[in-house]
Amino acid sequence: MTTLFIVTEFIFMTIIVVENGLVLIAFVKNKKLRSVLTHYYLIQLALTNLATGAFLSVHIASLWRPAWFEPRVGCAVRYLVMVVPFAMSMQTLLAITFDRFIAVVLPFFYRRNVSRKGIIVLCTIINVGSILLFGVLPVSVSKSRDGRDDYANTSKLS
């Protein structure tokens, strides 16, 4: 069962990396794609999905050779490489939804106030915010009552 799961994850990883890589290549090669502001959100989404697909290799390695991931570092690394890109992806979808809402409900406001620079700044804020918010949690290590380390225990932040 574990072998089947690892093979399936490897297939997903390959498909995710190739497809999102093709989206990025199309964006770089085709200048018409760069003229539509919403496509910058799609590039942000492709980048976060590419990171998720690439970091599946860490998850596969942790399943294949659990001894390679000692509890303290392994738990934090697996958490960081899976949760942070996922959080970026979800926040990007939220930004796309809000962007489309404003474009439909307030079209004149949208044309006057939304710019390429603003979208790039928002995507940067999403990335930095996700790293700070979701990247800090696994780094926090607290001591349990009996003195043992509770590695990556996010419920007892001290």
Distance CA 8, CA 137 (A): 29
pLDDT in the model for residue 57: 81
Mean pLDDT, the chain, as a whole number?
82
Judge whether residue 49 has pLDDT over 50. yes
- Tokens 């809402």 sit at which residue? 101
- Number of domains present in the structure of the chain: 1
Residue 158 in any domain: the answer is no
Q: Could you tell me the pTM of the whole model? A: 0.76
Please report whether residue 148 resides in a domain. Answer: no
Whether 151 is in a domain gets the answer no
Strands 149-150 and 142-143: antiparallel
Place 154 in a pLDDT band, splitting at 50, 70 and 90: very low
Assess whether pLDDT exceeds 70 at residue 129: yes
Q: In this structure, is residue 65 part of a structural domain?
A: yes
